[in-house]
Amino acid sequence: MKPASITSKRGVGKWGLPAILICGLAGFFVTGLHQLISWETMARHYAEISHFIEQNRAASYFGFVLFYTAVVAFSLPIASLLTLAAGALLGWPSIGLIVVAATAGASLLFIGARGLFRDVLRARAGPFFAKLEAGFTKNAFSYLLFLRLMPVAPFWAVNILPAFSGMRLTQFIGATAIGIIPGTSVYVAVGRGFDHLLARGETPNLAVLNTPHIWLPLAGLALLALLPTLYRQINPTSKKDQPHDPS
């Protein structure tokens, strides 16, 4: 029989991180933070926030990375708002900060999914999840890169689904970091235009994000990411050297 201490440690390792992530998501709504973090709040306190960042830029960068990492890890529904707000408040450096933070947060959720969520969610997965799992099993990196470039599934779901297929953490980190750069850059660029609106105490119109000149380039990049997968579908087996006729 296995010692109780070993069993206990394994239980903590399996349940610890997922429990923290679930509690963080629940706490976000229970404490009312989902109502506090909004464009209205941002516009109302924009001058104070901007002044603090100007006076404490390094600390602001560090704090933003930690906060954004937590937002992604806990799957809080404010990542898009933070990305746009970072474009207005932090400027172009926020692209690098967001890529690092989002990749770190997504990786934490991926690790948690491998520890616990894999068994729970796989048992309850619907057809949509099953199809995505099949794609990851065959072409893990390209498929994840496509979903990052063209967000056809929720970001939190794409963080969890690769764990079902046994995708390596290094593959997950690489595809996530590369795949979110274009979309993050677009959002930050749009957020830069919100600077003057927020400074006047106005809330931005997010309809601009649904225009073709925003999503068409991302769709094109996403299709490029699938080219290796499509090639393998067309040529399922690579021809090896045929033995020469001795005659």
Can you give the residue ranges of every domain in the chain?
10-234
Across residues 118-124, what is the average pLDDT?
A: 57
Across residues 85-105, what is the average pLDDT?
A: 95
Among 109, 92, 110, smallest CA distance to 181 is for: 92
Provide DSSP, 148-165.
HHS--S-HHHHHHHHHHT
Calculate what percentage of the chain has a pLDDT beyond 70: 60
Judged by average pLDDT, the poorest of 54-63, 186-195, 203-212, 213-222 is: 213-222
User: Can you read off the two tokens belonging to residue 70?
Assistant: 């937590």
Q: Contact 151/124 with Cβ under 8 angstroms?
A: no
Q: Contact 68/105 with Cβ under 8 angstroms?
A: yes
Map tokens 């199809």 to a residue.
131
Chain segment 150-200, per-residue pLDDT in tens: 777 788 888 887 877 778 899 999 999 999 998 899 889 888 888 888 888
Is the pLDDT at 34 greater than 50, yes or no? yes
Residues 6+ apart with CB under 8 A from 114: 163
Q: Residue 70: pLDDT band by 50, 70, 90 thresholds?
A: very high
pLDDT of residue 226: 62
Map tokens 């708002």 to a residue.
81
pLDDT of residue 247: 46
* CA angle centred on 73, ends 161 and 160, rounded to 5°: 5
- Beta-carbon count within 10 A of 53 CB: 17
Q: Residue 55: pLDDT band by 50, 70, 90 thresholds?
A: very high
Across residues 236-246, what is the average pLDDT?
A: 50
Judged by average pLDDT, the poorest of 61-75, 82-96, 156-170, 187-201 is: 156-170
* pTM (two decimals): 0.75
Across residues 131-146, what is the average pLDDT?
A: 73
Q: Of the ranges 17-21, 94-98, 120-124, 224-228, which is most confident?
A: 94-98
Q: Average per-residue pLDDT in the chain?
A: 77
